[in-house]
């Protein structure tokens, strides 16, 4: 009898243990998602000082132009570094992510050469690793400098000096390239669990439309693997302005890009389905364990002008104020707002997430709770916003199962890790600034930079040569001076390539670390984070890395 009791007890323990394990399995986020965005690869063909990318515009809004080093050379190289960072798991283990979402703004002005460079880098990585990659459109991918729709201005931003024509791609052409690229992931033999579909057939029928009249590409990624929870990702085109208030005309500036939008009004007589209705149909036809909305613009930047970045305002107070205005005054002339309609995209499981980019945050802000459905709506989405692969401090992110002390919590199921492109290698923190200063001493007499360096060289202290070297390499704000022209941009690119080659050859340093640190320095100069007394202080450069 005692033996029978022990057998029954053992069987009960095994069965309950299996049930407990099953319950844990049922609540486990099953994949690792890599997030990156905003490389903004810039054409070598374009003018460096023209209208919305002019020195005056840059001084006025302080975001229009970046240092030549980042635009003409480091952007492409840092994209390669960013992709490699997603291949590595914690402690550098070669495991990495299951899928990558590129959240828009791969190009700067949607130039043919810019998009070709972007897709060449993504394709190369995808083929080498077997990791599926899916992209969605950002404002820079089809607008000049991210704001300008005018074909004439876009042409001037991408063509000069009688060089071979470099067409500015229309939104339709960009969407076609994105759809072709995304669908190629379905054909990878290593990709058995992700399936992508989109509405490109509708895009093809309506290619005469544009961002103002309802042309959009909506993608859906479905992850399913036996014994694991399912994940559904809606790839939202947040540059779909058909039903948006025309803020560009209201401000009399005539440009897009300051806010995003998603169409939600159907046109019955034309059988024209809005993007939100398209996703509503998909949402009703599936019941995933986890649903993710992925867009270039954050949800609180859709149709609404807001000066708050994600995570800065608790519980999305900016959007709550908009709900009051729209509900009380019916402004901006909506009887049903986009924000209210987003409630229909929620998964029954109540595990809903929103991933976005666009804001160029230096470090990832804390996750935030998003409210949908109007002022009386639910706190329904947990959201994170990822920064740029080129800005200070350049980084990517991995979204995965939440584990205490291993990653940052989004909710009890899902967490994330922010991964800087530069690991704060102490040897490089000491050697590269000194090498830049030495390069300045050696090349300050270069005739291309005489006018731009005259006042700088008159200064005193070792930091002078650091600034001189950074100027010659196109890494600081000297490009904003009137002395700087396209010739200086081209000369600085040649100098930077020579500097990188010589430094790596002399020191045998890891090329990725060198590129990432140079990108950090250029971004920090642009963000005015390098103090005059920094010079060669190790503690100063560690602080710059945000690691001290």
**Per DSSP, which regions of 179-308 are E strands?**
194-198, 219-223, 231-235, 290-294
Tell me which residue of 516, 501, 307, 288 sits closest to 396, measured CA to CA.
516
Using pLDDT thresholds of 50, 70 and 90, give the confidence band for residue 333.
Answer: very low
Say what the pTM is: 0.91
Per-residue pLDDT, 235: 98
Q: Checking DSSP bridges between strand 33-36 and strand 231-235, what pairing results, if any?
A: unpaired
Query: pLDDT tens for residues 393-433?
Result: 999 999 999 999 999 999 999 999 999 999 899 999 999 99
CA 108 to chain centre: 12
The C-alpha angle with vertex 378 and arms to 406 and 317, in degrees rounded to 5, equals 80
pLDDT digits (tens, 9 = 90+) for 426-447: 999 999 999 999 999 999 999 9
Q: What Å distances lie between residue 374 and 99, 279, 317, 343, 378, CA to CA?
A: 33, 19, 12, 9, 8
Q: What is the pLDDT of residues 120-176, one digit of tens each?
A: 999 999 999 999 999 999 999 999 988 888 888 888 889 887 778 899 999 999 999
Q: What does the domain layout of the chain look like in residue ranges? A: 1-30, 31-420, 426-544
CATH homologous superfamily for the domain 31-420: Metallo-dependent phosphatases (3.60.21.10)
């Amino acid at each position: 009898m005692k033996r029978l009791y022990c057998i029954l007890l053992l069987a009960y323990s095994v069965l309950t243990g299996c049930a407990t394990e099953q319950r844990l399995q049922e609540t486990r986020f099953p994949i690792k998602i890599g997030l990156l965005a905003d490389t903004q690869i810039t054409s070598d063909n374009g003018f460096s000082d023209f209208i919305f990318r002019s020195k005056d515009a840059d001084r006025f809004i302080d975001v229009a132009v970046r240092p030549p080093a980042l635009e003409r050379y480091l952007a492409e190289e840092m994209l390669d570094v960013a992709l490699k960072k997603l291949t590595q798991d914690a402690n550098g283990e070669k495991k990495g992510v299951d899928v990558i979402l590129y959240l828009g703004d791969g190009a700067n002005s949607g130039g043919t050469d810019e998009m070709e460079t972007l897709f060449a880098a993504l394709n190369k990585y995808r083929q080498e690793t077997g990791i599926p990659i899916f992209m969605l459109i950002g404002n820079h991918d089809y607008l000049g400098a991210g704001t300008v729709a005018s074909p004439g201005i876009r042409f001037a931003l991408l063509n000069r000096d009688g060089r071979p024509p470099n067409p500015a791609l229309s939104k339709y052409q960009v969407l076609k390239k994105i759809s072709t690229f995304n669908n190629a992931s379905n054909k990878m033999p290593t990709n058995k669990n992700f399936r992508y579909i989109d509405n490109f057939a509708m895009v093809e029928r309506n290619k005469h439309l544009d961002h103002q009249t309802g042309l959009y590409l909506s993608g859906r990624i479905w992850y399913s693997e036996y014994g694991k929870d399912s994940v559904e990702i809606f790839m939202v085109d947040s540059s779909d302005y058909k039903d948006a208030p025309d803020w560009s005309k209201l401000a009399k500036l005539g440009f897009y890009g300051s806010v995003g939008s998603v169409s939600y009004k159907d046109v019955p007589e034309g059988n024209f389905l809005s993007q939100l209705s398209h996703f509503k149909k998909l949402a009703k036809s599936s019941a995933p364990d986890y649903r993710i909305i992925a867009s270039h613009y954050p949800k609180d930047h859709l149709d609404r002008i807001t000066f708050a970045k994600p995570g800065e305002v608790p519980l999305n107070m900016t959007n709550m104020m908009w709900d009051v205005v729209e509900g009380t005054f019916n402004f901006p002339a909506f009887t049903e707002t986009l924000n209210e309609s987003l409630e229909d995209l929620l998964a029954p499981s109540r595990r809903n997430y929103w991933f976005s980019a666009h804001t160029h945050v230096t470090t990832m802000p804390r996750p935030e709770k998003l409210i949908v459905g109007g002022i009386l709506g639910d706190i329904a989405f947990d959201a994170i916003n990822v920064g740029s692969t080129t800005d200070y401090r350049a980084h990517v992110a991995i979204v995965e199962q939440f584990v205490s002390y291993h990653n940052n919590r989004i909710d009890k199921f899902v967490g994330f890790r922010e991964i800087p492109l530069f690991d704060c290698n102490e040897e490089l923190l000491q050697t590269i600034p000194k090498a830049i200063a030495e390069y300045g001493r050696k090349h300050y007499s270069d005739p291309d930079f005489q006018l731009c360096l005259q006042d700088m060289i008159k200064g005193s202290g070792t930091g002078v040569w650091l600034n001189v070297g950074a100027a010659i390499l196109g890494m600081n704000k000297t490009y904003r001076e009137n002395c700087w022209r396209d010739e200086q941009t081209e000369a600085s690119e040649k100098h930077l390539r020579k500097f990188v080659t010589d430094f790596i050859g002399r020191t045998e340093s890891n090329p990725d670390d060198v590129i990432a640190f140079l990108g950090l320095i250029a971004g920090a100069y642009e963000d005015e984070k390098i103090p005059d007394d920094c010079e060669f202080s190790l503690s100063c450069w560690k602080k710059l890395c945000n690691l001290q």
